[in-house]
Amino acid sequence: MNGARVLIYSHDTFGLGHLRRARAIAHALVENYSRLSVLILSGSPLIGSFDFKARVDFVRVPGVIKLRNGAYTSLGLHIELDQTMALRSSIIEHTAETFAPDVFIVDKEPWGLRGELKSTLPLLKDRGTRLVLGLRDVLDETKSLSAEWERKGAFDALPLYDEIWAYGPDDISDPLEGLELPEGTREKTTFTGYLPRPLPEYTLPEVWPEVTKDKFLLVTPGGGGDGAGLIDWVLSAYETSGKDLLPALIVYGPFLPPEARDGFEARAAKLSNVETLVFDARIEHFMAKSSGVVAMGGYNTFCEILSHDKPSLIVPRMTPRAEQTIRANRAETLGLCHVLIDPMEAGGAPRYADVMADAMRILPNMPRPSAALSADALSGFDTICDRIQPYLKRARRR
């Protein structure tokens, strides 16, 4: 067997957050260690749209999508969900057995989606693989998360893990805050700091829209599956006050429903200072060039905002999880962003165009995150590489 191996599990049922985090970690590992190979297990239908560094590859398991009501259904295969889950579980187990990783990093779900790691985790544990559970900085509000993990039996999985990595600094958020945890869980939890997002090497966006040639605002709802409200509100601001605002590039995200996108395209076509893209896997280039960012505030977008030091206006999703709202409110308290709550999500009140326009008008002149960010807040990859080094005996630290 040549070189060390890391396997990363990313269940990917909604949006791009889990996949993008897994990819960022994989790239950081191969950049820091020679003779290391990283394999990503993912259910994302868009994983092939991203570039991967040498010694990083992926296995795509059959897709499952999470609906807005919280239920799951098979994405591409016209078979029952239970059959899809059985296929996924079998592929994951056999991949893990054959790849024989030194370290297995599981993103967010202790037992995997609907328990699909219940055979793989003990298998790797018995082989001496280092098992790591990686958690974003905020999972959900405590009461909801506790009930969810009780229902899934997630607390029972925690003793299997050798380490738990919380991908953020401990002075901003604790993903396990308030939970009744098994003995020893706290002692094996490490706060890594946020995961910085440098510009992709050697790759540029496929299209440079006209508005990006001068100062502009980037509008991004992430994957876009729940971003229609944000885009509607931004477009209404340009329809009423557009001449007073910097031009905007709206990147819809690949999961915005086509019927919603068609309606937005018709509206945007009437605006001389708004351009749109469906999706670009190299969105970091647009963010780095922008004068400010309007976003929903998912984990990856927030890391990009901090990494590229951009003033931001966050309009967080409030349901079905409070994750984005918790993160945005804490970040605003620390002076890292400005938050605007969607009144329709909060209680069904109308979205007033002038409220969004006023917020976007002052956005470029807001303080940058670096004015309030602690020196080690973006230390995530350094911490991960330090933590993982003792278990990569066939790799060499660069």
Tokens read off for 196:
């910085």
Query: What confidence tens digit (pLDDT) does each residue in 268-285 have?
Result: 999 999 999 999 888 999
Of residues 132, 133, 354, the one with CA closest to residue 239: 354
Query: What confidence tens digit (pLDDT) does each residue in 308-342 have?
Result: 999 999 999 998 889 999 999 999 999 999 999 99
Q: 294 - beta bridge partners? A: 219, 313
Q: How far apart are CA 187 and CA 60, in angstroms?
A: 34
Kindly state the average pLDDT of the residues 197-213.
82
pLDDT of residue 117: 98
Residue type, 388: I
Domain covering 4-195+378-397 in this structure, CATH number: 3.40.50.2000
Of the listed ranges 57-71, 125-139, 253-267, the one predicted with least confidence: 57-71
Q: How far apart are CA 19 and CA 284, in angstroms?
A: 15
Kindly state the average pLDDT of the residues 215-225.
94
Kindly state the average pLDDT of the residues 236-246.
93
Question: pLDDT class for 56, splitting at 50, 70, 90?
Answer: very high
Kindly state the average pLDDT of the residues 59-81.
77
pTM of the entire predicted model? 0.93
pLDDT of residue 69: 57
Where are the chain's structural domains?
4-195+378-397, 210-371
Question: Could you tell me which residue, 395 or 152, shows the higher pLDDT?
Answer: 152
- Whether the domain at 4-195+378-397 and the domain at 210-371 fall into the same CATH topology: yes
Of the listed ranges 65-79, 264-278, 332-346, 362-376, the one predicted with least confidence: 65-79
Starting from the edge strand earliest in sequence, which strands make up the sheet with 274-277, in order? 274-277, 248-251, 217-220, 292-295, 312-314, 338-339
Distances from the Cα of 160 to the Cα of 104, 118, 130, 261, angstroms: 12, 11, 10, 44
Query: What confidence tens digit (pLDDT) does each residue in 24-37 have?
Result: 999 999 999 999 99
Of residues 168, 147, 164, 109, the one with CA closest to residue 327: 168
Domain 210-371 in CATH 1.10.3720.10: no
The contacts of residue 346 (CB under 8 Å, 6+ apart) are 318
